[in-house]
Structure 1
């Protein structure tokens, strides 16, 4: 080894310092990425900052569909920024960053990308405050040919998946950047304004108008934030364990109103049962909203929104179990990429089967076996991969049904103790965050002590009907299928199957 003199080492140190200074000086602040890198939705989310909190303060006039107000974003930079993007499609009046006016413009290639250029570059790892003032008619705004804002005769709904925030507040719109929320919306006295979390207060500052103030204190993905304005029958109560329980029913539900109430009002009971399987309910409030303004249902955090058509044939607590199971799988533990949608929908579908078993309407084994036997080997159903369905098949029935069967297959392989320990541990280790499918597989292998690659490969990532069903029984041959009587559906299966169209995005 060559020994250097003190003078030589000093010269080297000076040289290195000069290089480092030159390197630092040449590293100019750069724009934040215009997307979070999602394989299905490259433009969703943004880079360069992490949001901690959204304060959304709006006024909405149902008669004209005019929405106006200011959203204040509290965030932290993750790099030096010369500019950054917000996902937003409405007309912006002004933007301030750290109280200084900032330049802003929509990306001409993507009108939903609002590019913000602060008066001075932003240092890395620093808190920032971004205030965006805006006013527009959301129902007239289309992004990629879609308008997720739903104008109704007496109000509007901001309820959709995978994106809906762009039509009512600027955001970093991807599940990997969750935040807490304050949502304050002023509406005419004749209508209600519902959102997530706890109703902190209702206030009046001028004649004819009421401001509804909601607060969500747990990390929440942007697509799980919601706003429902309209003529609702609103109920406020408390769950047996002391949480606020707010439900609302559209005034136009007609003969479905009682069936909707008979379902949604049982939410605390359903959640108590789900908690016995998945671990403690993860949020500060419970509830539900039923409306004719949508055909699907969606698991908006703490307060799912249900399309009224789901109750046309009577009560439907399997749907309540599905959407509230998402409070654990999808809301508490969110997907890391939209290609990981099985982590949401497969588990919520399996919760339906668990609830049906609890209600004495068919065991999980009966339900999943019936689904397996109901699809012939050549059905297109078996060509959709729950673990990688593609953006165009992301909400296909196979993601729900085959996804639920995959969990029954896992339960069959590892046994009840390891299966339910895995579900509860998943909630503990990923609480408030996001995850991808390989992480769940690794956890299931660790807890069960069994190699599970082949099982998941078969059920989630291989086209074609698995040779063995979810309960380990071999698929029926053509000859035996002809000679055997058609399988009889467990009592709740017709309702479960009917739900899937309604569950198209939830």
Structure 2
């Protein structure tokens, strides 16, 4: 389940009704797409829930399910290349979690509702979708829940309405979005709203039983965004915030404009540790959300910058600086499992490997910085985020940009750091500074890192 060809989606309009009492979800997805070639049929990804009808441009379409997740749709009439068409699918059922590289993902039951989150392929557990990071679309999400509960999603809240004991919350996703970044959180939240000095609306939603500590850390979001913007360019979205859910997710995720955090991050650690998660997830707004990967092999170009942002924040707060963290990690001896995978293509089972993707992804950026100098390095990072805003980019494009702006040939550097399962020669015989230690959790965000207690 990794996307489909032949068309590109422009917009998803989702109407979701969810009843926590019986975990039943009723959905209607309106999908606007454009055919990239002549199509007699096309596929969507969809898992677990029961379909009742599908129309294409208002006419009933034939459909069948294949391999448990492929939805093969045959419209009444073929679709010519360039045609804009609309699919409407109605469905219902009890959603099931899906096991993936990050662990479980999908609709997680909570004490008072649910939270929908996961990576890499999770969207298909709650709506029909072209579930690939490169097929970005805009979203409007209508969430209908029992009165008395909140329903939080991406972007801006456009309105609320009530009828017959139910309340509908309508959200506009805030720009093009990869499908795994769509989220919904349903329950009783302490919601706080304000605007940044730049006028960006902020909405933080914290499970009502957690208390003020999570809000205190989330309130640093404006300062963190300002810190990152000075290095990477303007914040790329028109909304900001966070969702903290009291559930054993075991990870945080950069759901667009409003990351989702496991409450354990705030309840069982100090503020500095919790803040490092927020820095990491908000850095993804530039790298991973605004600029998406063309496919999952390039995941380092999401996680490396987000992890490196944590290193920058650490140095700015008087703790270890990027070059010190780099030296500490370079002291890991050859042959250690730390060097066992290729950062630039870790394989489907290792997409979220903490050492190979997060730490060594950030080390790759520090190696580029050492090679080209700090000024050119940050020019590369800003230009990447600015020129590819709303689009995609992979390793070869990033390397080409680095070479263009530095006027240097960097084949050897990228080959050593990304495409060899061995310690790079460029590490030399680095020794950590006196008193330095390996990062406790400078690339937080994933189940594996929490389980390690890193």
**TM-score normalised by L of structure 1:** 0.84
Cα-to-partner distance string for 1:428-453 (whole Å, 9 max, x where unaligned): 22111111101100100010011111
1:97 aligned residue: 56
Q: How far off its partner does 1:280 sit? A: 0.6
2:256 is matched with which residue: 301, 312, 329? 301
Residues 1:151 and 1:266: Cα distance change in structure 2 (over 3 Å): same
The structure with the largest alpha-carbon Rg is: 1
Q: How far off its partner does 1:149 sit? A: 2.2
**Structure 1 residue 71 corresponds to structure 2 residue 51:** no
> Paired residues, what number?
444
Aligned residues of 1:88 and 1:112 also touching (Cα < 8 A): yes
2:140 is matched with which residue: 166, 182, 189? 182
2:122 is matched with which residue: 159, 164, 182? 164
- Distance in 1 between residues matched to 2:202 and 2:104, nearest whole Å: 33
2:229 is matched with which residue: 267, 275, 286? 275
Aligned residues of 2:307 and 2:443 also touching (Cα < 8 A): no
**Structure 1 residue 496 corresponds to structure 2 residue 434:** no
- Distance in 1 between residues matched to 2:382 and 2:82, nearest whole Å: 34
Q: How far off its partner does 1:245 sit? A: 0.3
**Structure 1 residue 310 corresponds to structure 2 residue 268:** no
Cα-to-partner distance string for 1:51-84 (whole Å, 9 max, x where unaligned): 1110001111011111102110111111111111
1:247 aligned residue: 204
- Distance in 2 between residues matched to 1:415 and 1:280, nearest whole Å: 22
2:93 is matched with which residue: 113, 129, 136? 136
- Distance in 2 between residues matched to 1:302 and 1:324, nearest whole Å: 8
Residues 1:181 and 1:332: Cα distance change in structure 2 (over 3 Å): same
1:371 is matched with which residue: 312, 325, 329? 329
- Distance in 2 between residues matched to 1:141 and 1:388, nearest whole Å: 23
1:47 alignment partner, SS class = coil
Q: How far off its partner does 1:496 sit? A: 2.6
In structure 1, runs of 5+ residues without a counterpart are: 1-42
2:70 aligned residue: 113
1:334 alignment partner, SS class = coil
- Distance in 2 between residues matched to 1:123 and 1:147, nearest whole Å: 36
1:24 aligned residue: none
1:230 is matched with which residue: 181, 187, 204? 187
Aligned residues of 2:15 and 2:29 also touching (Cα < 8 A): yes
Q: How far off its partner does 1:295 sit? A: 1.2
1:328 alignment partner, SS class = coil
1:289 is matched with which residue: 226, 243, 249? 243
Residues 1:164 and 1:497: Cα distance change in structure 2 (over 3 Å): closer
In structure 2, runs of 5+ residues without a counterpart are: none
1:277 alignment partner, SS class = helix
**Structure 1 residue 84 corresponds to structure 2 residue 38:** no
- Distance in 2 between residues matched to 1:196 and 1:344, nearest whole Å: 19
Q: How far off its partner does 1:173 sit? A: 0.8
Residues 1:503 and 1:209: Cα distance change in structure 2 (over 3 Å): farther
Residues 1:94 and 1:500: Cα distance change in structure 2 (over 3 Å): closer
Q: How far off its partner does 1:260 sit? A: 1.8
1:139 alignment partner, SS class = coil
| Residue correspondence of structure 1 range 365-444 to structure 2 within 5 A | 365-373=323-331, 375-398=332-355, 399-444=357-402
1:32 aligned residue: none
Residues 1:497 and 1:92: Cα distance change in structure 2 (over 3 Å): closer
RMSD: 2.2
Aligned residues of 1:297 and 1:502 also touching (Cα < 8 A): no
- Distance in 1 between residues matched to 2:97 and 2:372, nearest whole Å: 52
- Distance in 2 between residues matched to 1:417 and 1:171, nearest whole Å: 41
Aligned residues of 1:139 and 1:151 also touching (Cα < 8 A): no
Aligned residues of 1:178 and 1:220 also touching (Cα < 8 A): yes
- Distance in 1 between residues matched to 2:46 and 2:444, nearest whole Å: 35
Aligned residues of 2:441 and 2:449 also touching (Cα < 8 A): no
Residues 1:51 and 1:452: Cα distance change in structure 2 (over 3 Å): same
**TM-score normalised by L of structure 2:** 0.93
1:23 aligned residue: none
